Structure 1
Amino acid sequence: MAFLRRQSRLQRPVHAAEESDSSRKWRVVDLALFHALHGGTVANMVPALTGFSFDMRKDSERRAGWKCETVLEGIPEDRLLWNIAKKHGYTTLFGATGCNGFLGTRYCRKWLEQFDRVVPSLEIDPNCHSQHELRALMFDRDGKRGCIGKKRPSKHLLDYFLRFQEIHTDRPIFAYLHLEASHESQHALQLIDEALAEHLQGLSRLPPEARPIVVLAGDHGPPNECDEKSPLVSLLIPEARLPDKGCTGGVGTCGQTQIPSNITGTLRKTMQENARLWRRSIWNLEHNRFVISSWYDMYATLRHLMSGQDPGGAAQNERQWDAPDHRAQSLLTKLPRQRTCTQAGVPEWHCGCARTWVGYCPLAQRGQWAVAERALNEVNQLVATAGSKFRVDASVCQHIGLEEVLSCEMHLPSYQRIQENLQGAGNQERTILRIRMLTTVGMEFEFCAYMRFKSLSGHLQDVEGYVDELLQLFPRSRYRPNEKCTPQNLDPAFCACGDQAELRKRPAIDEDLPTSPT
């Protein structure tokens, strides 16, 4: 969640005398086609806060040690969103309800010290393995090592920020609040929705010029579900900043009647132009609701709001091999309706959901098994290499073998290309497969394989396949049982040392979560 209070010279004119019940409401802009990137919190929040993509090869090192320097390694500090906000005169605030391996743990001190203020955090154990353990810690100790009082962590965080806003109504503020919720049940969201509603009501009672623009978003959707790629992303804009008087259907007339009559000359023209630009920006934002966008675009949008100018090339990512035509664009500028996933920075193979993958696999069962075994060999080699590198005993990590190939799917656009291009003997075409497998230790993994197929006779069933690259190997089941026994600096997602019965458990969709004392 990000909060941004616009500087007075950039904001649309607002007058307290015109306050009404309607002006205390929020204009909500839901981004219906906002697309999360492949991976978890870090893979999405790095683009959101830096504009650069996260190197997934660093993910094991991150999970093994919660090292923030691993996450932000190589990223210029002048690209960090909070530093850009400070450059434009904003007071910056950060808060988190738990550890996420990016910001919010004691290992992130270098980055936390760059904020003007950090919300007093929970007293978390140094290892801080997972949100599950944090939750258990709070229940078992009845809050003795958490916040003082009976508030839930999220309520403590939101109340602190509201009070911060009330005290600093005279300055622009940028705040990044990270509210942790369970990854295994959406019931956990009910623990924070009431607090969020109360918080928005509190913000609406601030003076009009002090009410922030709120970006309320999930970094990604529920894992292992279709909606994992489609998180809730909404921009909430105070209605007090968007009076519609004078808007008679034309964007150019909006805002003029809100300028006091005693302001004349150049200043009046400047305010009129700012009002037009601001209203046009909001019109563009609403237009872009049904345009594919991503966290790269949100980064550019927040920079646009901070400075009042489209950041353009200053917000661009490095060239991505799997999204060569990507260009980050501010959502305050009008985007083309037919914008593609790759133009938004989302690789073609990760685009969409059920329509993107088809249950057809050109590999026979034997071929699927061979590719899956190759992927697991890389996992076992990764653990062994990490053990030697960090001089720890990796023998507690069981060898991971293949028990079953659960599914093999082909990316729909490449499936269509193969049907067209492999009709002649000797023709070649590349495609990407998504394979899910169950291992002998009870864990499930998913990975993608870039493959090259050569037609032998012109028939789709008569082809030779070659694996060019394996990528995005990711755990798709719980690895919590491994966390307590994994040696330091090894990745619990790949060190199978936990109880196999626990590793084989799968969470129920409607699993209820315990309720903390109130």
Structure 2
Amino acid sequence: MDLKSNVFILCSVVFILCLAKMTLHSHYPSIESLAKIDQEYYVNSPSCKMPEMDPFSADIMKHFKRKKLKECSNDKALVYSVFDPELRQYRMHIDESSFEGLTKNLGNSTLKCQYQVIGRNTKQSYPDKDFSLSDFRPLTQSFLVPKHIDFISTQCHAANGRKELKLLQEDAFLFVQDRLTLKRNYTEPRPDKETKPNVIILGIDSTSRINLRRSMPKLHEFLQRPGWFEMQGFNKVGENTIPNLLAYLTGNAEEKAMQMSKFSRGGFVDKLKFIWQRFKKYGYLTAFGEDCSKINTFNYHKPGFKKQPVDYYLRNFILALENILKVRREYGNAFCLGRKLAFKYVFDFARQFMQRFQNSAPLFGIFWSNSFTHEDFLGATALDKIFWEYLLAYDELGFFNQSIVFVLSDHGYRYGVTRMGAKSGYLEERLPIMFVYVPPWFRRRYPQYVENLKINQNRLSSGFDLYMTLHHLLQLNLTSMSKFNPKFRSSQCKGCQSLFFELPHNRKCSQAGIRKKWCSCQPTETVTNQKHMKKVGQAVVLHMNQHLEHRNLTNICESYTLKKVIVMDRQVPLTDESVEDDLVHTYIITFDTRPTSAHFEATVQWNTQKETLTMNVDEVSRLESYKKHSKCTNDPVIKKYCICIPF
């Protein structure tokens, strides 16, 4: 055979292979065609195309309405606290003029007020699940609060002699007491404020960057001020709050520990290496406050901390108030605790913490709110003005001048109308808010870090990068990640790095510690072949039933049948693949099952040649609230996909 014939045969083979590949991709857009589509991206690189979403699209706005804040109380406070700057102690005052207005119909009565001390019950095996409460003690005018008391509840009655006629008002107060051993001149700034800046984390649960723009315009406007940087490519790393917060605070999402139920064991949480421990070693005062005790990060179906984890800890105070004060529920959570919003207790705690020590010690604090946003994506509309007012107050008090501040969330809304009825729902869940603030002195002293923050706004980032950033704030003189002590690296993402260093442009989710299930980097193409959709859907349900058997759950959990595949998208590869690789497709499938018409979403791999499916059932997402259907188990993983058998 001559050379000409050989060349012809070779060209024919190449043509046939190319034709086969084109056929396989015929109903998916190529990377070149994707680039031509008029599409804006949060992140746009060869390895990550994270599309921008319209917060005001019609499919979401038909469910959207603004909610007005319902005040907890309109009456004037009978008791209030004032900080005495000379004695550096708190005083309690009783407003007798308010008493007169409340007792017009009670005849010749007098005002009698009393208080109880709230504390941490260290005698219990699980102190996070309990609180201590003293006997009632008389509360007198200008009562000077002893420095060992952190929390009190108060009651004021109208009394006639020794007879109590009427309970007029109940309230509660927290005091950030000064227990520093090294005293300073409180009127002068700390000499180390630039080498040891305050580090403050303000968190709102279940809030996506998309919903922030839709629901909280005042807050969003504040976060556009100079010094603020939004990490638009910030992608969650786990299902719910705890893996994402653990990524931020320990560098490990500990999802294997959750699957092995280690968090249900007393003392397990205490053994984790939290970033606040390192801040403490560097001389920082530490604080942690969170509202809604039943769903607290380290306490929901978990025993929590045996030892108080930080210097100033709000857990037992909030738990006590939910038990001794009148509680009003809104947005599915404990909203009002007596006269005051649960949210306000947490953010007043933050204000006192910063105000007490801004001239005396460096501070590390985490202040987290669930009350407005955890159960209702519309709750953020009522929170907007309150959160904005707190940030304005912090700014007026000068806190931002001394602090690196993070305003962030753990994830977006995970179920309900945003996930079942909106195209943006998939990204809303995976892209939480993440804003970083650096003060003017920091911008002058570290211009390269600021430039890197600007660049990183549109790079793929994760909670493991935040963890490294927190470590970096303890050693700001380090000029590259190679200078970091290896023992302070994220154990789950060795390649993750501080946000003050430039993140790689062509970064993949795997390089940021983000598993395929949660990765928002790949564009998708909707599958329209109903027969194929049903085949994949039935295979998914079969795997779920087999998983129930494997985990010995068939005695408490119903078996499934497929009701309907709602939508199935195929992830379009961002890099050229061989014909062999094209045999395995990754699908994101949303489907309904019987019984109870449960809504699920799963990310699965489908072999087109063998028609076999690979999936991790524990990673299945439930797209509606499953509280009432999963009461037979406390396992947070099993609860997602267990429909309890009625007995």
Q: Is the TM-score greater than 0.5?
A: yes
Alignment equivalent of 1:486, drawn from 623, 632, 646? 632
Indicate conservation of the 8 Å contact 1:204/1:211, yes or no. Answer: no
Residue 351 in 1 paired to residue 519 in 2? Answer: yes
Residue 234 in 1 paired to residue 435 in 2? Answer: yes
Corresponding residue of 2:408? 217
Secondary structure of 1:234's match? strand
Letter in 2 for 1:177: F
* Stretch deviating more after TM superposition (201-210 or 366-375): 201-210
Secondary structure of 1:10's match? coil
Alignment equivalent of 2:586, drawn from 427, 432, 439? 432
Corresponding residue of 1:457? none
Corresponding residue of 1:188? 379
Return closer, same or farther for 1:93/1:443 CA change in 2, 3 Å cut-off: same
CA displacement, residues 1-35 of structure 1 (integer Å, 9 cap, x when unaligned) = xxxx99535169xxxxxxxxxxxx75111112211
Distance in 2, matches of 1:336 and 1:488, equals 41
* Stretch deviating more after TM superposition (199-208 or 474-483): 199-208
Secondary structure of 1:450's match? strand
Return closer, same or farther for 1:230/1:7 CA change in 2, 3 Å cut-off: farther
- Compare CA radii of gyration and give the structure with the larger one: 2
Secondary structure of 1:190's match? helix
Distance in 2, matches of 1:332 and 1:399, equals 50
Distance in 2, matches of 1:124 and 1:151, equals 11
CA displacement, residues 38-63 of structure 1 (integer Å, 9 cap, x when unaligned) = 4121231121111113326835958x
Letter in 2 for 1:421: V
* Stretch deviating more after TM superposition (201-210 or 49-58): 201-210
Task: State how 1:39-118 maps to structure 2 within 5 Å.
Answer: 39-55=239-255, 58=258, 61=261, 67=264, 72=269, 77=272, 79-98=273-292, 99-100=294-295, 102-103=297-298, 107-110=302-305, 113-118=308-313
Return closer, same or farther for 1:476/1:7 CA change in 2, 3 Å cut-off: farther
Distance in 1, matches of 2:313 and 2:605, equals 44
Aligned length: 403
- CA-CA distance at 1:284 after TM superposition: 1.8
Distance in 1, matches of 2:550 and 2:345, equals 41
Corresponding residue of 2:562? 402
Task: State how 1:235-384 maps to structure 2 within 5 Å.
Answer: 235-239=436-440, 241-242=441-442, 255=444, 275=445, 278-308=446-476, 309=478, 311=484, 313-318=486-491, 327-348=495-516, 350-352=518-520, 356-360=523-527, 364-365=532-533, 367-381=535-549, 384=552
CA displacement, residues 379-428 of structure 1 (integer Å, 9 cap, x when unaligned) = 5336744x8xxxxxx54x433332223333222117963xx414xxxx87
- CA-CA distance at 1:475 after TM superposition: 1.3
Letter in 2 for 1:8: K
- Segments of structure 2 that go 5 or more residues without pairing to the other structure are 1-189, 198-224, 420-424
Distance in 2, matches of 1:6 and 1:175, equals 20
Residue 447 in 1 paired to residue 602 in 2? Answer: yes
Distance in 2, matches of 1:488 and 1:341, equals 31
Distance in 1, matches of 2:622 and 2:307, equals 29
Distance in 1, matches of 2:500 and 2:269, equals 27
Return closer, same or farther for 1:182/1:486 CA change in 2, 3 Å cut-off: farther
Normalised TM-score (structure 1): 0.67
Return closer, same or farther for 1:187/1:135 CA change in 2, 3 Å cut-off: closer
Secondary structure of 1:350's match? coil
Return closer, same or farther for 1:349/1:122 CA change in 2, 3 Å cut-off: closer
Distance in 2, matches of 1:6 and 1:361, equals 65
- CA-CA distance at 1:115 after TM superposition: 0.8
Secondary structure of 2:590's match? strand
Return closer, same or farther for 1:449/1:410 CA change in 2, 3 Å cut-off: same
Residue 171 in 1 paired to residue 361 in 2? Answer: yes
CA displacement, residues 332-390 of structure 1 (integer Å, 9 cap, x when unaligned) = 1122333333322223453326x5222238982453144122232145336744x8xxx
Letter in 1 for 2:195: L
Distance in 1, matches of 2:241 and 2:299, equals 12
Distance in 2, matches of 1:305 and 1:112, equals 26
CA displacement, residues 128-178 of structure 1 (integer Å, 9 cap, x when unaligned) = xxxx97855747xxx5xx3x4x22111111011101111112101111111
Residue 465 in 1 paired to residue 633 in 2? Answer: no
Indicate conservation of the 8 Å contact 1:406/1:438, yes or no. Answer: yes
Distance in 2, matches of 1:167 and 1:370, equals 60
Among the aligned pairs, what percent are the same residue?
A: 18
Return closer, same or farther for 1:215/1:55 CA change in 2, 3 Å cut-off: same
CA displacement, residues 279-320 of structure 1 (integer Å, 9 cap, x when unaligned) = 322222222111111111011001111332454633434467
Distance in 2, matches of 1:185 and 1:104, equals 21
Task: Name the Cα RMSD after superposition.
Answer: 3.8
- CA-CA distance at 1:467 after TM superposition: 2.9
- CA-CA distance at 1:87 after TM superposition: 1.7
Secondary structure of 1:43's match? helix
- Segments of structure 1 that go 5 or more residues without pairing to the other structure are 13-24, 127-131, 244-254, 256-274, 321-325, 388-393, 454-462, 500-518
**Structure ranking higher in strand proportion:** 2
**Structure ranking higher in helix proportion:** 1
Secondary structure of 1:413's match? coil
Secondary structure of 1:421's match? coil
Distance in 1, matches of 2:528 and 2:488, equals 39
CA displacement, residues 202-239 of structure 1 (integer Å, 9 cap, x when unaligned) = 22233579732210011112222132222221112334
Return closer, same or farther for 1:211/1:428 CA change in 2, 3 Å cut-off: closer
Distance in 2, matches of 1:60 and 1:361, equals 39
Normalised TM-score (structure 2): 0.55
